[in-house]
Structure 1
Amino acid sequence: MSRLYLIRHGKPAATWGEADEDPGLDETGKAQAEAARDYLLALPQADRPKRVVSSPLRRCRETAAPTAEALGVEVEIDTSVGEIPTPKALSAADRPAWLRGVFQGTWKDAQGDLDYDAWRGEIVESLHARGDTAVFSHYVAINAVMSHLEDDERVLVFRPDHASISTLETDGSSLTLVVKGREASTGVL
């Protein structure tokens, strides 16, 4: 079994529905990115990540950068650990209300342009072969993984704080939760 670290991005400089649809980190978020790096580097050598994977969105890339730099590796961009796709008919301003509705139900009930239960499965599948990796992702994508691991069909099963680190193990074909990351009340709901 090898370790996989699933990390929520640090605090962004803007939130849902604000003018910037791809914000970077604010000063708190930058400090959280450095704290995540420090945590990962303090692990025993055998448990440290060897690769760094990030959602393509700026807040994740900026959270991943200090860890990648410290490890001497490039940040690998992977859309499969990206943010949940918004239905094409919705504007950025409509996204918060749509997400609040999604959070109230199950993956099979989520309304949009695609099968969100299948989207959840794709995220989980993408992580199976990612041992020894730090994966920087998003609130909803992390919930997709946690709901799978807990065999819970609800969309919202975990409230990862900014830069929360959950530890998983993989044998290449399955995932196991070792330690769930820090939860907090966030601005998501």
Structure 2
Amino acid sequence: MQLVLVRHALPQRIHPADAPAADRPGGPADPPLTPRGEEQAQRLVGALAAEPVAGLYTSPLTRARATAAPLAAALGLEPIVVDDLREYDADAAHYVPVHEMPRLDPAAWERMRAGLLPESVDVGAFTRRVAAAFEGIIAAHPGRETAVVVAHAGVVNTWLAQLLGLDRPLVFPLDYTGITRVLAGRDGRRVVRTVNEIAHVADLLTPPAPTPAPPRGDAARCSP
């Protein structure tokens, strides 16, 4: 079968400096898509129009579910939410889109550029979690079926690193709504066919103007 892996579209930034203290939501940051992200998500409909999609799966996070929504409507499929497809920082209280990382958190940006997850992440446990999620989806679609999975850069990258025997979990720069294809055989073979197809959104990937930086001393949590 074929897995079509999609990174979510561009989400909004969530940071304590973006709203008065009384208006700041508690709990983990779970941002919606920006208007540009919504347009990117719409482009998936045309990009995958020729695919015989038998199943649609998504991370539980809002940015992934919103990315899958236009495709679900076009296909007439109810997305299946898989909790283990959530990103490694799903419980963080802040979210800063990757294009703002060099300015807001240079140290985190350099670590990501080096292909490394944050030091706080148990890479082995995270890898086992996402691999099990993908293998569960594969098991549900025998034969030549195609399933689309909307998730996150860290989730997709970590599984690709395992399949390819790479020693770093964040090797590939995956763009918003970039498409990656993995072929899964009944004999256990997993073949990475393509990585980060972006022709459908090439004109929508120029980063928007960054939002103003938070006051000095505020820590930014940045995420793929």
Judge same fold: TM > 0.5, yes or no: yes
Match of 1:11 in 2: 10
Once the 2 structures are TM-superposed, how far is the Cα of residue 106 of structure 1 from its aligned partner? 5.0
Query: Which string of whole-angstrom CA distances, capped at 9 and with x for unpartnered residues, describes residues 105-134 of structure 1?
Result: 656xx533x632231122123212434211
In 1: Cα distance, 2:95 partner to 2:148 partner = 31
Once the 2 structures are TM-superposed, how far is the Cα of residue 102 of structure 1 from its aligned partner? 5.6
**CA distance 1:102–1:6, shift in 2 (3 Å):** same
Match of 1:152 in 2: 166
One-letter amino acid of the counterpart of residue 65, structure 1: A
Q: Secondary structure at the match of 1:111?
A: coil
Of stretches 135-144 and 118-127 in structure 1, the one that deviates more from structure 2 is 118-127
- Equivalent of residue 70 in structure 2, options 48, 52, 66: 66
Q: Secondary structure at the match of 2:31?
A: coil
Once the 2 structures are TM-superposed, how far is the Cα of residue 7 of structure 1 from its aligned partner? 0.2
Once the 2 structures are TM-superposed, how far is the Cα of residue 93 of structure 1 from its aligned partner? 7.6
Once the 2 structures are TM-superposed, how far is the Cα of residue 51 of structure 1 from its aligned partner? 0.9
Once the 2 structures are TM-superposed, how far is the Cα of residue 155 of structure 1 from its aligned partner? 2.4
TM-score (norm 1): 0.78
Once the 2 structures are TM-superposed, how far is the Cα of residue 58 of structure 1 from its aligned partner? 0.6
**CA distance 1:64–1:146, shift in 2 (3 Å):** same
- Equivalent of residue 125 in structure 2, options 118, 124, 146: 118
- Equivalent of residue 136 in structure 1, options 144, 150, 157: 150
Match of 1:36 in 2: 44
- Identical amino acids, percent of aligned pairs: 23
One-letter amino acid of the counterpart of residue 68, structure 1: A
Q: Is the CA contact (8 Å cut-off) linking 1:102 and 1:155 kept in structure 2?
A: no
User: How many residues get paired?
Assistant: 178
- Equivalent of residue 127 in structure 1, options 130, 134, 137: 134
Query: Which string of whole-angstrom CA distances, capped at 9 and with x for unpartnered residues, describes residues 125-159 of structure 1?
Result: 32124342110001111111221122112122011
Q: Is the CA contact (8 Å cut-off) linking 1:102 and 1:111 kept in structure 2?
A: no
TM-score (norm 2): 0.67
Q: Secondary structure at the match of 1:133?
A: strand
In 2: Cα distance, 1:168 partner to 1:51 partner = 15
Residue pairs, 1:99-110, within 5 angstroms: 100=109, 103=112, 104=114
Q: In the alignment, does 2:188 pair up with 1:180?
A: no
Q: CA RMSD in A?
A: 3.1
Once the 2 structures are TM-superposed, how far is the Cα of residue 91 of structure 1 from its aligned partner? 5.3
Q: Is the CA contact (8 Å cut-off) linking 1:10 and 1:29 kept in structure 2?
A: yes
Larger Rg, first or second structure (1 or 2): 2
Q: Is the CA contact (8 Å cut-off) linking 1:50 and 1:71 kept in structure 2?
A: no
Q: Is the CA contact (8 Å cut-off) linking 2:31 and 2:95 kept in structure 1?
A: no
Match of 2:56 in 1: 52
One-letter amino acid of the counterpart of residue 176, structure 1: V
Q: Is the CA contact (8 Å cut-off) linking 1:169 and 1:175 kept in structure 2?
A: yes
Q: Is the CA contact (8 Å cut-off) linking 1:54 and 1:61 kept in structure 2?
A: yes
**CA distance 1:185–1:79, shift in 2 (3 Å):** farther
In 2: Cα distance, 1:137 partner to 1:27 partner = 19
**CA distance 1:106–1:62, shift in 2 (3 Å):** closer
Q: For structure 2, which runs of at least 5 residues remain unmatched after alignment?
A: 19-23, 199-204, 208-221
